[in-house]
Amino acid sequence: MRRGSGILLHVTSLPSPYGIGDLGPWAYRFVDFLSKCKQSLWQILPLNPTDPAHYNSPYHSTSAFACNPLLISPECLVQDGLLKRAEVKSPPDFPMERVDYRGIGSYKERLFNKAHEGFKGKRPQYEYEKFCSENSHWLEDFALFMALKSHFDGRVWSDWPQEVRDRQPKTLQSAQKELHEKVEMVKFLQYVFSGQWNTLKRYCNQAGIQIIGDIPIYVEHDSADVWTHPGIFKLDNEKRPCAVAGVPPDYFSETGQRWGNPVYRWDVLKKEAYSWWIQRMERNLKLCDILRIDHFRGLVAYWEVPATENTAINGKWVEVPTMQFLNHLMRRFPFLPIIAEDLGLITPDVREIMHHFELPGMKVLLFAFGEDLPTNPYIPHNLVENCVLYTGTHDNNTVRGWFEEEATPGEKGRLFHYLGREAPVEELHWELIRLAMMSVANIVIFSIQDILGLGGEARMNRPATTEGNWQWRLLPEQLTNPLAERLLEMTEIYGRT
Of 80, 395, 404, 431, catalytic? 395
Quick one: pLDDT at residue 199?
98
Q: Which long-range contacts (CB under 8 A, 24 or more apart) does 145-150 make?
A: 145/62, 145/63, 145/223, 145/224, 145/227, 145/228, 146/62, 146/182, 146/186, 146/224, 147/175, 147/179, 147/182, 147/183, 147/186, 148/175, 148/179, 149/62, 150/182
Rounded-to-integer distance, Cα 386 and Cα 297, Å: 18
Domain parsing of the chain, residue ranges: 229-321
The answer to whether 366 touches 389, Cβ cutoff 8 Å, is: no
Closest by Cα among 300, 304, 460 to 390: 460
Q: Tell me the CA distances in angstroms from 324 to 88, 107, 328, 343, 353, one per residue in order.
A: 51, 47, 6, 24, 11
SS3 113: helix
What's the CA dihedral at 255, 260, 266, 271 to 10 degrees? 170
Rounded-to-integer distance, Cα 65 and Cα 73, Å: 20
Quick one: pLDDT at residue 146?
98
Quick one: pLDDT at residue 466?
86
Of 341, 342, 411, 450, catalytic? 341
Quick one: pLDDT at residue 1?
75
Q: Tell me the CA distances in angstroms from 175 to 98, 135, 189, 239, one per residue in order.
A: 38, 20, 20, 20
For residue range 48-59, what is the model confidence (pLDDT) as tens digits?
999 998 899 999
- What DSSP state is assigned to residue 403? I
The answer to whether 460 touches 12, Cβ cutoff 8 Å, is: no
Quick one: pLDDT at residue 465?
87
Quick one: pLDDT at residue 122?
82
Quick one: pLDDT at residue 372?
83
Of 100, 222, 225, 294, catalytic? 294
Quick one: pLDDT at residue 371?
82
Q: How many CB atoms are located within 10 Å of the residue 428 CB?
A: 22
Quick one: pLDDT at residue 460?
97
Quick one: pLDDT at residue 53?
86
Quick one: pLDDT at residue 123?
74
Rounded-to-integer distance, Cα 359 and Cα 357, Å: 5
The answer to whether 65 touches 276, Cβ cutoff 8 Å, is: no
The dihedral built from the CA positions of residue 275, 269, 148 and 72, taken in this order, carries a sign that is negative
Question: 10-residue block means of pLDDT along the chain (497 residues)?
Answer: 95 97 98 98 98 92 98 97 95 94 93 95 88 98 98 97 98 98 98 98 98 97 98 98 94 86 98 98 98 97 96 96 96 94 92 96 96 90 97 97 96 95 95 98 98 97 90 97 98 97
Rounded-to-integer distance, Cα 275 and Cα 291, Å: 18
- Residues across the chain: 497
Whether 395 is catalytic is yes
